[in-house]
Amino acid sequence: MTPDELLRMELRPVRERHEDPEVDADLDWKELHPQARNELKALTPENAEFVALHLAMAARLIEVEPERAHQHAISASRRGGRIPAVRETLGLTAYTIGDFALALRELRTFRRISGSLDQVALEVDCERGLERPERGLELARTIDRSKMSDIAAVNLAIAMSGARLDQGKAMLALAELEIPQLKPDTAFAYSPSLFLAYAEVLDELERSREAEEWRARADVAQLALDEAFGTAEEAEEFEVYTEYDEPAAPDFSTFVTADELPDESPDVLPDTPNADLDAGPTESPAEAPEEEPVGDDEAPKVTE
């Protein structure tokens, strides 16, 4: 089957009707990530504007009203199914509402067409949600972690540890978390979640004292991060983008059209996952700066 035939199969309609939800009147274009706006240049101006609005709504609602966010993601997929950000968003909203089959299929497709490994951990979690932890572990073993960012590698380790717990193998679950990023005296953005996952497995092994020590480390790391960069609520008030230099309100009339592409599917995507798809090429992340030795101070060193 050719790539075009495979893509058409992925986009075949499975639902008879879908009513596009309303977009908030106060929607700000800044709510759509610049990378997503950049990808939308492959669409006609009309489709680009429609998809952008629904992606922005999905991003706004995913944590507070996941069902509504998913409906917006479905609307975006009807006109922008070949855009990586659309497939990723549909996968994320499906995961949030517990539709693990759809989420798995969408996140696989996102990985294939974008080359990104950022959501592999959620693929593993989807396999867990479908009660197939062994398949999640098989997937994880095919991934070259040297090509992942530190935070993506940590998320993958946590997902693999959970899969081991699903299998009743607590010692192996602990081993999955003993990765280079497990540094008790340094606070990275991923440290609190990694430390808490490690504590959870220690509890499973009835090593309660060690578990409490790692929970305390998670609290100290989170406090250090909050003091250095602000709390999560404060961080939501501003974002800094350096990779893309685009206007706050993009002019879709200037976007490049893609008339040579096949027509977008008019309906939502199928609910059942297709066969596994290989990940596309991806660039290695930039190496993290070498860390300085940690002193005797109680608070960990904070690193972005």
Walk me through the domains of the chain, giving residue ranges and CATH numbers: 1-116 (1.25.40)
pLDDT over 80 at 265, yes or no: no
> pLDDT (tens digit, 9 = 90+) per residue, 113-123?
999 999 999 99
- Within 13 Å of residue 19, how many CA atoms lie on the same side as its CB? 3
Q: Give yes or no for a contact between 176 and 154, defined as CB atoms under 8 angstroms apart.
A: no
Q: What is the pLDDT of residue 278?
A: 40
pTM value is: 0.72
Q: At 141, list the tokens.
A: 């073993």
In the chain, the percentage of residues whose pLDDT exceeds 70 is: 70
Q: What is the pLDDT of residue 252?
A: 43
Q: Give yes or no for a contact between 66 and 273, defined as CB atoms under 8 angstroms apart.
A: no
Q: For residue 186, list its beta bridge partners.
A: 301
Q: What is the pLDDT of residue 283?
A: 42
Sign of CA dihedral 245, 249, 253, 255: positive
User: 35-65 burial string, b = 16+ CB within 10 Å, else e?
Assistant: ebbebbbbbbbebbbbbbbbbbbbbbbbeee
> pLDDT (tens digit, 9 = 90+) per residue, 51-86?
999 999 999 999 999 999 999 999 999 999 999 999
Q: What is the pLDDT of residue 18?
A: 85
